[in-house]
């Protein structure tokens, strides 16, 4: 499932290439024909992400809400850019202000490159991003079960397999956002951090589940959950109400840092202090990028204990039984 950095990157793609343009909206698959008819011919006026939810605003007070879920993906084509450091409608950039990597990601976990000026290309954006520079005719024919096609004179975006795709009004957007936990790319105020800490510390639920609860904090998925807990040396089974306030506050700050880094680089990079060669390896291969995620049975990079794998909340959890005891 795409995590928060991916959805923010997709929103930035729309902000750069679709906001301010009149959009032809269709449903090649047919399942979104009624919604497409409501949006067709309107100008896109805003694109924003909150955690794993994305909202596209159109003239007339209509919004398209999309949640990619486990299988959803956006395919972009035309004169597009994969530069994640562009400013979104809200003006916020990735915290590191770094350009994305130009290294190939062999695992396909994240983006393969980040470029500046728009050019004619194809780009698939979901949990992973893959770019295709092959020649093609614009607009390309829809391929597969395309729920929604958004088309301008220069760019096209095709949506496949989302968990949620609906036309809603502004008050429904706000109601959805109000049910979500804070997203540090949208609100990095002290109050947002305090809200997260309070939500964690009033619950007996294990912190390993709380970090995946989108009403507690927005955008964290399986990769970031495992890595955040390891970086804090926190046992994933610790009840939220037993997590010290300063530890919970540090978790929030670390999530803000990693999310900003992920948006700026396109990689779920969770290891710090690497030399140039190690950094290059980490940006090109997941095996060199994470502390514990997908490393079950391998020795911990710090203590040598084999990384454990278990299921919690129907999702895989990776952790070190020694460092996180």
Which residues does the annotation mark as catalytic? Answer: 2-3, 52, 315
Phi and psi at 83, nearest 5°, equal: -80, 105
Report the alpha-carbon distance of residue 143 to residue 158 in Å, rounded.
Answer: 9
| Residue of 136, 4, 166 whose CA lies nearest to 75 | 136
Report the alpha-carbon distance of residue 55 to residue 105 in Å, rounded.
Answer: 28
Phi and psi at 241, nearest 5°, equal: -70, -10
Both tokens of residue 226? 């495992």
Please report how the helices 222-231 and 245-265 are oriented relative to each other, as an axis angle in degrees rounded to 10: 130
Run of H or E including 47: strand 42-50
| Residue of 73, 90, 87, 82 whose CA lies nearest to 126 | 73
CA distances from 118 to 5, 155, 242 (A): 21, 10, 49
DSSP string, 178-206: HTSPP-TTT--SHHHHHHHHHHHHT--SB
CA distances from 216 to 150, 210, 245, 247 (A): 32, 7, 15, 16
How many H-runs (helices) and E-runs (strands) does the chain carry?
A: 8, 12
């Amino acid at each position: 499932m795409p995590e928060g950095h991916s959805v923010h990157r997709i929103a930035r793609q729309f902000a750069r290439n679709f906001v301010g343009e009149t959009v032809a909206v269709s449903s090649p698959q047919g399942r979104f024909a009624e919604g497409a008819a409501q949006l067709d011919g309107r100008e896109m006026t805003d694109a924003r992400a909150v955690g794993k939810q994305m909202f596209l605003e159109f003239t007339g007070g209509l919004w398209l809400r999309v949640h990619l879920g486990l299988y959803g993906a956006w395919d972009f084509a035309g004169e597009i850019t994969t530069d994640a450091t562009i400013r979104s409608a809200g003006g916020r950039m990735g915290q590191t202000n770094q350009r994305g990597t130009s290294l190939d990601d062999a695992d396909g976990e994240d983006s393969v490159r980040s470029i500046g000026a728009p050019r004619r290309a194809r780009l698939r954006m979901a949990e992973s991003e893959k770019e295709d520079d092959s020649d093609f005719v614009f607009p390309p024919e829809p391929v597969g079960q395309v729920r929604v096609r958004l088309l301008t004179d220069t760019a096209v975006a095709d949506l496949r397999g989302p968990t949620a795709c609906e036309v809603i009004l502004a008050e429904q957007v706000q109601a959805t956002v109000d049910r979500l936990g804070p997203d540090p790319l949208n609100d990095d105020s002290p109050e947002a951090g305090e809200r997260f800490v309070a939500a964690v510390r009033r619950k007996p639920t294990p912190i390993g589940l709380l970090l995946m609860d989108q009403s507690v904090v927005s955008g964290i998925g399986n990769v970031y959950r495992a890595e955040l807990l390891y970086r804090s040396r926190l046992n994933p089974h610790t009840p939220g109400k037993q997590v010290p306030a300063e530890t919970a506050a540090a978790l929030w700050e670390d999530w803000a840092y990693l999310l900003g880094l992920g948006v700026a680089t396109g990689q779920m990079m969770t290891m710090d202090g690497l030399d140039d060669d190690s950094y290059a390896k980490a940006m090109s291969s997941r095996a060199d990028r994470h502390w514990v995620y997908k490393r079950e049975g391998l020795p911990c990079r710090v203590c040598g204990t084999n990384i454990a794998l278990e299921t919690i909340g129907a999702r895989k959890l990776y952790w070190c039984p020694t460092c996180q005891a």
